[in-house]
Amino acid sequence: MYQVTLPSPGFGTFRLEGESLKQAITDALEIGFRHIDTAQIYGNEETVGEAIANSSVKRDDIFLTTKVWFDNFNAEKFVSSVEESLDKLQTDYVDLLLIHWPSPDRKVPIESYLKSLVDCMHKGYTRAIGLSNFTAPLLEEAFSVIGKENIACNQVEVHPYFQNTDLVKFCQRHDITVVGYMPLGNGKIMEDKVLNDIADEHGVSVASVALAWQLQQGLVPIPASTNKAHIESNFAAKELRLTPDEMDRIAKLDTGKRFIDPDFSPDW
C-alpha cells in the first residue's frame, strides 16, 4: 500500500465554483495550502483542474482528493467516471480517491464498489483510497472487504457544535485519519461566546480557534473560503496552540446535532 500523509489543513471546494473558486485555489496555494479537496458531485472538478494547471506550484507538490458519487457505483460506470474526473482535473492521478457516501439503501453492494475503488488504485488512477460518511459498522464492513490498511481516511462532519467524538475515536483507534468537513459549522459557530473569548485571548479569528481545536486532535480540517484574508486565517491555525483548558471549554460546545444529514444518509 502507498503510505499517504494528508497535508493539514486542507482546502475544501464544496459549494465553490467558477472564477471565484479558481482565484481561491490560486490564493490558497500561494498562502501555503497543499491539499485540495473536490468531488464529482460538486461539479467543479474542471475549475479545480484549471486552477492547479495554471498554478506556479508543481502538480507533484499538491495533494489532490476527489470523491466518487453513488450514481457511479455500478461496476460498469465506476472506473469510467474516475477517468472522466481525471480528464476534468487535467491530471493522470489523484492522491486520494474516496467513496463519497455509502450506497443508499445498499442499492450497490459494498463489496462491489470497494473492489472498484481498489481497482482504480491498481490502475494508478489514485495513490491512496478512502471513505467518506461511513459509520463505525460500515467501516468494519469495509475492513473485511479491502483491509483497513488500505483505508487512508474517513471524511466526516466535524466542528465544535458537532464533534462526532465516538466515530473520531473509532477511526483513530484503527489508525484511520479523520478528515473533517464543514469544520466551521457552516458559519454557525462564528458568534459563539466561548470561541470568541478564546479568539480574543489569542488575538486570532474564531475560525483559527475552531481549526486549531481540530488540528490538535490530529484531524485534517478542510475549510472552504473565497476570501483571501479568511484563507490566510485558516492556514494560520497551524501556528495556534490552545491550552488544555481551552480545549475542554470547546469540547463542552457539542450539541450532537449534525448539519449535513441528507435523506440518503446511512443509519447514523
CA angle 13, 14, 17 (to 5 degrees): 65
Per-residue model confidence (pLDDT) at position 1: 46
Please state the rounded mean pLDDT for residues 126-131: 98
**8-60: per-residue pLDDT in tens?**
999 999 999 999 999 999 999 999 999 999 999 999 999 999 999 999 999 99
What is the percent of the chain with per-residue pLDDT over 70, rounded to a whole number? 99
Please state the rounded mean pLDDT for residues 152-158: 98
Q: For the whole model, what pTM was predicted?
A: 0.97
**173-231: per-residue pLDDT in tens?**
999 999 999 999 999 999 999 999 999 999 999 999 999 999 999 999 999 999 999 99
Residue with cell string 479558481: 22
Half-sphere exposure of 77 (CA within 13 A, CB side): 8
123 versus 1: the higher-pLDDT residue is 123
Of 203, 265, 267, 264, the residue nearest 239 (C-alpha): 203
Cα–Cα distance between 62 and 25 in angstroms, integer? 11
Q: What's domain 11-184+219-224's architecture?
A: Alpha-Beta Barrel (3.20)
**225-249: per-residue pLDDT in tens?**
999 999 999 999 999 999 999 999 9
CB 118 within 8 A of CB 86: no
Does the pLDDT value for residue 2 go beyond 60?
Answer: no
Does the pLDDT value for residue 107 go beyond 60?
Answer: yes
E-strand spans in the chain?
11-12, 35-37, 63-68, 96-99, 129-132, 151-157, 177-181, 220-221
- What residues are annotated to the active site? 42
Cα–Cα distance between 129 and 42 in angstroms, integer? 19
Q: Which three cell numbers stand for residue 163?
A: 464533534
Per-residue model confidence (pLDDT) at position 4: 86
Domain residue extents for the chain: 11-184+219-224
